[in-house]
Amino acid sequence: MTTKNYWLTPAELGDYLGVSRQTLANWRSSGTGPAFAKRGKVVRYRQSDADAWLESTIVATA
Protein backbone atom coordinates (compact mmCIF):
# COMPACT_ATOMS: atom_id res chain seq x y z
CA MET A 1 0.00 0.00 0.00
CA THR A 2 2.66 2.49 -0.89
CA THR A 3 0.68 4.19 -3.66
CA LYS A 4 -1.12 7.20 -2.21
CA ASN A 5 -4.05 6.96 -4.64
CA TYR A 6 -4.72 3.32 -3.87
CA TRP A 7 -8.40 2.66 -3.04
CA LEU A 8 -9.09 0.61 0.09
CA THR A 9 -12.11 -1.45 1.06
CA PRO A 10 -13.59 -0.88 4.52
CA ALA A 11 -12.00 -4.15 5.66
CA GLU A 12 -8.56 -3.05 4.41
CA LEU A 13 -8.87 0.38 6.01
CA GLY A 14 -10.10 -1.16 9.24
CA ASP A 15 -7.00 -3.35 9.35
CA TYR A 16 -4.81 -0.34 8.56
CA LEU A 17 -6.34 1.81 11.31
CA GLY A 18 -6.98 -0.99 13.80
CA VAL A 19 -10.75 -0.49 13.92
CA SER A 20 -13.73 -2.60 12.88
CA ARG A 21 -15.80 -2.17 9.75
CA GLN A 22 -18.70 -1.22 12.03
CA THR A 23 -16.65 1.62 13.50
CA LEU A 24 -15.96 2.88 9.97
CA ALA A 25 -19.70 2.65 9.20
CA ASN A 26 -20.47 4.63 12.36
CA TRP A 27 -17.91 7.28 11.36
CA ARG A 28 -19.45 7.54 7.87
CA SER A 29 -22.92 7.90 9.38
CA SER A 30 -21.84 10.60 11.83
CA GLY A 31 -19.66 12.50 9.35
CA THR A 32 -16.42 11.81 11.19
CA GLY A 33 -13.52 9.70 10.01
CA PRO A 34 -11.74 9.72 6.66
CA ALA A 35 -13.36 10.84 3.42
CA PHE A 36 -14.90 8.06 1.35
CA ALA A 37 -16.45 7.39 -2.03
CA LYS A 38 -19.69 5.48 -2.42
CA ARG A 39 -21.13 4.11 -5.63
CA GLY A 40 -24.31 2.20 -4.99
CA LYS A 41 -23.55 0.08 -1.95
CA VAL A 42 -19.79 -0.05 -2.60
CA VAL A 43 -17.68 2.09 -0.24
CA ARG A 44 -14.00 2.82 -0.86
CA TYR A 45 -11.40 4.97 0.86
CA ARG A 46 -8.44 6.60 -0.88
CA GLN A 47 -5.18 5.81 0.93
CA SER A 48 -4.09 9.47 0.79
CA ASP A 49 -7.38 10.62 2.38
CA ALA A 50 -7.02 8.07 5.16
CA ASP A 51 -3.44 9.18 5.83
CA ALA A 52 -4.45 12.86 5.86
CA TRP A 53 -7.32 12.15 8.25
CA LEU A 54 -5.05 10.15 10.54
CA GLU A 55 -2.50 13.00 10.59
CA SER A 56 -5.30 15.43 11.51
CA THR A 57 -6.09 13.39 14.63
CA ILE A 58 -2.62 13.75 16.16
CA VAL A 59 -2.71 15.54 19.50
CA ALA A 60 0.46 17.20 20.76
CA THR A 61 1.33 16.57 24.38
CA ALA A 62 2.36 19.37 26.68
From first to last of the 62 residues of the chain, give the pLDDT tens digit.
455 689 999 999 999 999 999 999 999 999 999 999 999 999 999 999 999 999 999 999 98
Please tell me the predicted confidence (pLDDT) of residue 5: 82
The pLDDT, as a whole number, for residue 33 is 96
Count CA atoms closer than 13 A to 4's CA, side-chain side: 4
Residue 56's nearest CA partner among 33, 40, 36, 31 is 33
Q: What pTM value is reported for the model?
A: 0.84
